[in-house]
Structure 1
Amino acid sequence: MNNRLVQQQTEELERKLRAYERLIEKLPFPFVFTDYETGIAIEKERGDARPRLHPAPVSPGKEAEWQWDIDLYHDVPFEKVESFLTPLLDLVPHHIVFVDGQGIITLCNLQAAIDTGVDRDAIIGKHIRELLKLPDELIATLQSLERREPLYNHEVLDRFYGIVNTRFIYNDDGSVKRVISMFQSLSMMKETEKLAVAGRIAAGIAHEIRNPLTTVRGYLQLLKNDLPDRVTSLVERLLIPELDRANGIITDFLNIAKPADVKMETFNLHRFLRDDVGVLLQSEALLHNVNVHFDLDEQLDGYDMNGDRSQLLQVFLNLFRNAVEAKVAKTMNVTVSSRKANHIVQLRFCDDGPGIPLSVIDHIFDPFFSTKETGTGLGLSLSKKIVELHCGTMKVQSDACGTCFLMEFPLRSQPPFLSS
């Protein structure tokens, strides 16, 4: 009986030993493990099928030593490397995309997903043309892959304006494992230059025009009582209001060109949209034959946002008035919606009006650009500036079925709490 028990224990130890041996054989990286209790050192070099055992100094009580040399390109599946890199590359404010030798996306950082308007998880495994919405011949990464030549500060002049760089990672057989592509958008730099020019123009306007306007208005106010009734009526109903209108245009333009004070407070996003924005728009809608609808994401019901209520209200009012001024005879429908996507909050203001002509849509945020005879061209510029002061972005999409303004704000770092 004792012999059978010993045999079973011996067989169990042998099975465990074979399992440990197979485990060590499967380890893809080189290492040296020195066990001072047993006086044995186990060593395995890269490419070895089996490890080698060496004698080591016996030193009871001394901790074993473990040294290894992991090569991320050879010893670890590259998908694991990409999984590790993704949260780090999400912090980079440029587009970073990895594709394999067939142009299939294996990694897409958050900035690239946000700027192209895709779900980052859904785009993995798709061809890069589905991310960029461009023909293959216009995609610099694919051209680099086809020529097997990296790009160095290559200028991109399609709907994405900026600089692209590519680098290659190869398999041992020389085939392409990955093409790493980084795109640096220069659109923000271009917008900054526009604002700098606008600031200089505004300073000149304020200095050269505002003071004379104030002087003229003051004298008209002083002299109107000494003028005939017909002239007095002209002064009160036309001249002074027109001077005030000109002064208002200068004020709005200065608000775009110069930093404004943002009075930040914390408020529930959906309560703000339903109560504040809703009441404001509904009162305006009754006068203009407009139906206002709200489509709010339940995921954001308890979300508290930081912002300046009055400035954000001004944004929605500007968008509503633009929609009303563009409407045709039929009843217009306006929809305000919210969505949680990736790590951002998306707010949309959409109408079913005639849309914005393709020839002018790229200029609607430019100061003083307007397609209306009486418009100043400052409403959308000011709205975009307010959104940017709230660390957000503002974009527009339009076709013959209507126009949609998309505002995106970063999700607060701390978890939102439910408001009472």
Structure 2
Amino acid sequence: MPSSSVGGLVLAGRPEADTLRTRLVWLTVFRTVATSLSLVAVAARLFLQPIEEPSRADMLSFAVIGLVYVFTLVYGLMLRGGRGVDRMAAVVQVAGDLVVASMLVFLTGVGDSPFTFTYLLAVIGASILLDGRGALVAAGAGAVAYTLLLMAVKYGWMEPPLGIAPLSRQRILFLLISNLLAFFLMAVLAGYLSRQLSAAGGQLSEREADLQKLDTLQRQILACMPSGLITSDAAGVVTFVNRAASAILALEPRLAPGTLVEAVLPGALGPDARLRRREMTVQTTAGMRTLGLTVTGLEGPGGGGTLIVFQDLTELRRIEEDLKRADRLAALGTLSAQLAHEIRNPLAAMRGSAQLLVQEPGTTDPTSAKLVEILLRESDRLSKLVDDFLRFARPPPPSLQRLELEVLVAETVDMLRVDPIAQEVQVEMILAPVRVPVDPDQLRQVLINVLRNAFQAAGRGGQVRVTLEVEEEELALLRIWDSAGSIPVADLSRIFEPFFSTREGGTGLGLSTAYSIVRAHGGNIRVRSSPQEGTEFLIQLPLRG
């Protein structure tokens, strides 16, 4: 981890200039408070004295304190502007403190001065700004200044304003020994405490940096994990939702305060929620979602909370359903082909025999002629049904041509608009230009099957909407929507199965044939339906063949 030093002291994780600036700011604040209190005290003393008897020493002390106060404010403004942050500024600060202390001691009687302790404040300030060695230097400078003051007063070189009692050799020796010892002991103690404080600050900075890294890593993990994650307190109020959970459940980026888990995941916190992993279906603004859910209790005060981790299994379940449907269609297709072949041969013989009866001379019985006509008509119907079975069971491979899909869709819709089933049905088309490789005849059959179902379901006064768009330059998305929404939920999984129809008289081969054709093109077809939202068929076709 990077480190820096101030006065020889190593500080982990903090630049030297920032550390020195912080120390100067705190020392300036401390000096401002102390100077303000001293200024108030001297001013109160002056105002309490009679006007005609102001003390000269008090006036000088007031002037010195006021001057220091002004300089402190000016330096504070300089620090705020980002100036005066260097080692020389710290030395000047300590030297200024020693000068002020010497002036106060001289003005208040030197040996009898109550302000001798200001030298100790200067030593403490030096230990903060310049470390232990700086404190020792400041103590030595203070000792020299105090000794010179005593000598100057002793030999009459300077005269304090308040005067001073005669100083004997013994008293001078006592004052020097006691005060100088105090200066150096304070320097040692302050230096030690400063080193300990700096070391503790460095360790704290390291721990803070580590915690910030861990917090950043945790946020990155929670933001990038593909699984949804929701936490709640003991009352079931949501406390955290990660990005994946918001995307899966189509939630707002910021939930309203006090949102309950039941409002986001209904049924997630049931009685047996914490017993096992389970699946549940949730209605979101983006549609139904199938979730694989795990609920875990969290320990904490007040009963702890709950951790909910879930994955979106909707697409996986759709793929599984498509595979199952493909397997079923393959098996049914094989069976249908075999049955169709077995039926076609005797059916052709029956129809040929009926035609011979019609052509037989002397067959004029009206009843026989009518029965032969019925036999021919029904055999033709069975033959068409067998052809449909064979087309479903073994659809010819698509002959791909790159064409404008929007043109093919518009032509098919216009062709079906004249069909009686489309009368009085409102049709809307929103078609983006898309070129895709498709078999036009086979895709037209798909469109006819799906559109006819939509027109029949919508009925008179209903609505049908056809939209065509491109998804990420990979798929063409063709949506056919009707306003009826008449397919029951239980039938949605069987809608593409052969021989399954919800309409009376339907063979159930139209949608199953459409499904086989779309799959042969490398695409997919899906459906969703509800009375509130209508029915929508989604046909996905690859843009590259």
| TM-score (ref. length: structure 1) | 0.58
Q: What residue identity is the alignment partner of 2:352? A: Q
Aligned-residue offset at 1:124: 4.3
Tell me if 1:318 matches 2:449: yes
Q: Which amino acid aligns with 2:465?
A: T
Give how far 1:319 is off: 1.6
Quick one: distance in 2 between partners of 1:126 and 1:325? 43
Quickly say closer, same or farther: Cα 1:366–1:124, change in 2 above 3 A. Answer: farther
1:241 and 2:380 equivalent?
A: yes
- 2:204 pairs with one of 41, 44, 49: 49
Instruction: Give the CA deviation at 1:75.
Output: 3.6
Rg (Cα) greater in structure: 2
Cα displacement (A) at 1:394: 0.8
Equivalent position of 2:333 in the other structure = 202
Query: Which residue among 147, 160, 164 is the counterpart of 2:292?
Result: 164
Alpha-carbon distance between aligned partners in 2 of 1:394 and 1:369, rounded to the nearest angstrom: 16
SS in structure 2 at match of 1:180 = strand
Q: Within the alignment, does 1:286 sit opposite 2:418 as a pair? A: yes
- Match for residue 74 of structure 1 among 214, 230, 233: 214
- Bigger helix fraction: 2
Deviation at 1:176, TM superposition (A): 6.2
1:368 counterpart residue number: 499
TM-superposed CA distance for 1:294, in Å, is: 0.9
Shift of residue 155 of structure 1? 4.6
Q: 2:530 aligns with which of 385, 398, 402?
A: 398
Whether the 8 Å CA contact 1:282–1:292 is kept in 2: the answer is: no
Superposed CA offset, 1:329-383 (max 9, x none):
x354321124567897643212345834566555433332223232111222333
Q: CA deviation digits over 1:65-93, x for unaligned, max 9?
A: xxxx98999341544334444xxx4xxxx
Aligned partner of residue 394 in structure 1, secondary structure: strand
396 and 177 in structure 1: CA distance in 2 versus 1, 3 angstrom threshold? closer
Mapping of residues 137-286 of structure 1, within 5 Å: 137-139=266-268, 142-143=269-270, 149=274, 151-152=276-277, 154-156=278-280, 164-166=292-294, 179-184=308-313, 185-186=316-317, 188-221=319-352, 224-227=355-358, 228=363, 230=369, 234=373, 237-254=376-393, 261-268=397-404, 272-273=405-406, 275-286=407-418
State the 1:276 CA deviation: 1.0
**Contact 1:387–1:394 (CA under 8 A) maintained in structure 2:** no
Cα distance in 2 for partners of 1:354, 1:397 equals 5
Alignment partner, residue 244 of structure 2: 108
In structure 2, stretches of 5+ residues that fail to align are 1-13, 22-198
Q: In the aligned structure 2, how far is the partner of 1:411 from the partner of 1:18? A: 62
1:128-149 deviations in whole A, cap 9, x for unaligned? xx9x99885533xx459x96x4
* Superposed CA offset, 1:124-174 (max 9, x none): 4459xx9x99885533xx459x96x4744x254889797725376979999
State the alpha-carbon separation in 2 of the partners of residues 363 and 224 from structure 1.
Answer: 41
Whether the aligned pair in 2 keeps the contact of 1:354 and 1:402 (CA below 8 Å) is: yes
Distance 1:383 1:398 in 2: 22
Render the CA deviation track for 1:90-140: whole Å, top value 9, x for unaligned.
xxxxxx322233446423389x75xxxx7x5x654459xx9x99885533x
Give the Cα–Cα distance (whole angstroms) in 1 for the partners of residues 262 and 298 of structure 2.
Answer: 27
Instruction: Give the conservation status (yes or no) of the 8 Å contact 2:351–2:376.
Output: no
Answer yes or no: is the 8 Å Cα contact 2:434–2:469 preserved in 1: no
Decide whether the 8 Å contact of 1:220 with 1:235 is kept in 2.
Answer: no
2:165 is matched with none
Alpha-carbon distance in structure 1 between the residues aligned to 2:280 and 2:543: 33
User: Does the 8 Å CA contact 2:229/2:309 hold for their aligned counterparts?
Assistant: yes
Q: 1:84 to 1:164 in 2, by over 3 A?
A: closer
Distance 1:345 1:20 in 2: 62
For the residue of structure 2 that corresponds to 1:199, the secondary structure is helix
Q: CA deviation at 1:277?
A: 1.1
Q: Decide which moves more: 71-80 or 188-197.
A: 71-80
Retained in 1: the 8 A contact 2:426–2:462? yes
Q: What count of residue pairs does the alignment treat as equivalent? A: 324
Choose the corresponding residue for 1:97, options 223, 228, 231: 228
In structure 2, relative to structure 1, the CA distance for the partners of 1:109 and 1:295 (3 Å cut) is farther
Shift in alpha-carbon separation, 1:180–1:403, aligned structure 2, 3 A = closer
Q: How many angstroms does 1:318 deviate by?
A: 1.0
Structure that is richer in strand per residue:
1
TM-score by length of 2: 0.47
Task: Pick one of 381, 399, 402 that aligns with 2:512.
Answer: 381
1:337 equivalenced with 2:467 (yes/no) = yes
Any stretches of 5+ residues in structure 1 without a counterpart?
1-14, 23-43, 53-68, 90-95, 414-420
Looking at structure 2, the residues matched to 109 and 408 of structure 1 have their Cα atoms a distance apart, in angstroms, of: 28
Asked if 2 retains the 8 angstrom alpha-carbon contact of 1:394 and 1:406, the reply is yes
Distance, in Å, in 2 between the alignment partners of 1:133 and 1:346 is 35
Contact 2:449–2:511 (8 Å) recurs in 1: yes
